Amino acid sequence: MSNDSYRVLDRDSLPGYLAEIPEVTAVLGDCTDLEILEIGDGNLNFVYRVNNATDSTKSVIVKQAVPYLRMVGEEWPLSRDRMTYEIRALSLYNEVVPDLVPTIYHADEEMSTLVMQCLSDHIILRIGMIEGITYPDVAEHIGLFMAETLFTTSAWSMGSLERRELMDRFTMNAELCKLTEEFIFTFPYMDHESNYSNPATDAWAKENVHTDIDYKRDVLHFKDLFVSKTDALLHADLHSGSLMVNQQESYVIDMEFAYFGPFGFDVGKVISNFLLCCTSHYHRSGGAEYREWLLEQIPVIWNTFEARFLELWEAAGESAMMTNGFFSDTELADMRSAFMVNLLQESAGFAACSMARRTLGIAGVADIRDIEDLEIRSTLEIANLKLSKRLMAERNTLSTIDDMLALIRDYYSSPIL
């Protein structure tokens, strides 16, 4: 994918680059006087907000991948091909869920650069949730996003040939898949130099995670699904930091991890982020009321997801998986019900993995890691690990989202702090 026309953009070269793109000047207007703000707080890429200096409402976001891990520097090489996959995924999402992702103004695979809609009235959902802000529609938006993107790219929707053509465009997002394989499904469950450390948490994990063979086998089962199940095109990094929200709207961003993986991965990751935040609010200002709001979002996410997924399925014609006449209508309905139960259980397992990695692995969540008192933090970390273990151990007893919520409520009914 790489070729010679690539160069790293900076404040000096950005205006000239943007001025050549009609779709961008149509938004920014005159490009001779631009304000450029580097806003990337992510680990991988450079992200700039660029606006017209005389009218700041005229603005765009420029995101460029560099051939190394930005948070570390050039000594950690990482192919900038990741931007190719983000471009491909965001382009597809603009077809499938245009209201839930930023509009693309310009996508440039050779320059590993994306110029897109600036979401200046929105904040990162994680930041809002840490502050205890409620969002009336975010759960529904998340459910819709997952239903539309997962169903549409699955073998229950696509024909066999077109599905393999789409898969072929994502197979080689290999480096980012490897990061997930290691940092979500491997290192957190063993002694590893990359892991986070907090003494009391470390001691608990040594006793209760590293030596829990059933739990680790289950983790490996989910790693196997991540590595070798190609149900649908996943966002594959769908946590509360990958959503920009306000009281009306929600936008999903940062899809550079996109690849064909198991249905439950996106769903489980989303759910785990509501749980991690819920645990954190035993210490944070939101308290019981906000914790209740967080928990109530979980069935809204699932029920919206499930209803829309089934609605799309019922409307779908023949596909790689389904040929008219194979099942009667009743048989089909029964099969779909069983399918959704299985997907719920799989999501619970992936949620469990996500909670453990955010607790023990290198990449924590600010909800927990920003708590300065290490003892309080550790208590909450251990609480998250215990919930992870329960979700994993009991996942196959869950038939409905109400079962899952009952398990979670039961867990939180014991003292946490």
Which residues bind to a copy of itself, rule: CB under 8 A?
155, 160-161, 164-165, 167-168, 171-172, 174-175, 177-178, 181-182, 186-187, 189-192, 213, 216-217, 220, 223-224, 227-231, 260, 320-321, 323, 325-327, 331, 334-335, 338
Q: Provide the minimum distance between the beta carbon of 290 and a copy of itself in the complex, in angstroms, as a whole number.
A: 37
2's enclosing H/E stretch is none
In the complex with a copy of itself, the residue whose CB is nearer, 182 or 403, is 182
CA nearest to 226, candidates 281, 293, 178: 178
Q: Provide the minimum distance between the beta carbon of 273 and a copy of itself in the complex, in angstroms, as a whole number.
A: 25
* Spatial distance between the Cα atoms of 75 and 79, rounded to a whole number of angstroms: 12
End-to-end CA distance of the chain: 51
Find out whether 322 and 163 touch, Cβ atoms under 8 Å.
no
Beta strands in 232-312 (DSSP E): 232-234, 243-245, 250-252, 259-261
- Both tokens of 202, joined, read 């470390």
- The 3-state secondary structure of 23-78 reads HHHHHHCCCCCEEEEECCCCCCEEEEEEEECCEEEEEEEEEEECCEECCCEEEEEC
In the complex with a copy of itself, the residue whose CB is nearer, 96 or 322, is 322
* Spatial distance between the Cα atoms of 4 and 180, rounded to a whole number of angstroms: 30
In the complex with a copy of itself, the residue whose CB is nearer, 11 or 178, is 178
Q: Provide the minimum distance between the beta carbon of 157 and a copy of itself in the complex, in angstroms, as a whole number.
A: 12
* Spatial distance between the Cα atoms of 180 and 186, rounded to a whole number of angstroms: 9
Q: Provide the minimum distance between the beta carbon of 163 and a copy of itself in the complex, in angstroms, as a whole number.
A: 8
In the complex with a copy of itself, the residue whose CB is nearer, 295 or 320, is 320
Q: Which residues contact 196 (CB under 8 A, 6 or more apart)?
A: 359, 360, 361, 362, 364, 369
**CA-based Rg of the chain, rounded to a whole angstrom?**
22
The rounded Cα 99 to chain-centroid distance in angstroms is 17
In the complex with a copy of itself, the residue whose CB is nearer, 72 or 190, is 190
Q: Provide the minimum distance between the beta carbon of 321 and a copy of itself in the complex, in angstroms, as a whole number.
A: 6
Q: Provide the minimum distance between the beta carbon of 184 and a copy of itself in the complex, in angstroms, as a whole number.
A: 13
In the complex with a copy of itself, the residue whose CB is nearer, 175 or 394, is 175
In the complex with a copy of itself, the residue whose CB is nearer, 213 or 417, is 213
* Spatial distance between the Cα atoms of 383 and 172, rounded to a whole number of angstroms: 37
Q: Provide the minimum distance between the beta carbon of 317 and a copy of itself in the complex, in angstroms, as a whole number.
A: 15
Q: Provide the minimum distance between the beta carbon of 263 and a copy of itself in the complex, in angstroms, as a whole number.
A: 10
b/e string for 6-31 if b means 16 or more Cβ within 10 A? Answer: beebeeeebbebbeebeebeebbeeb
CA nearest to 235, candidates 212, 205, 267: 267
Q: Provide the minimum distance between the beta carbon of 404 and a copy of itself in the complex, in angstroms, as a whole number.
A: 23
In the complex with a copy of itself, the residue whose CB is nearer, 223 or 308, is 223
The owner of tokens 């009743």 is 330
In the complex with a copy of itself, the residue whose CB is nearer, 191 or 311, is 191
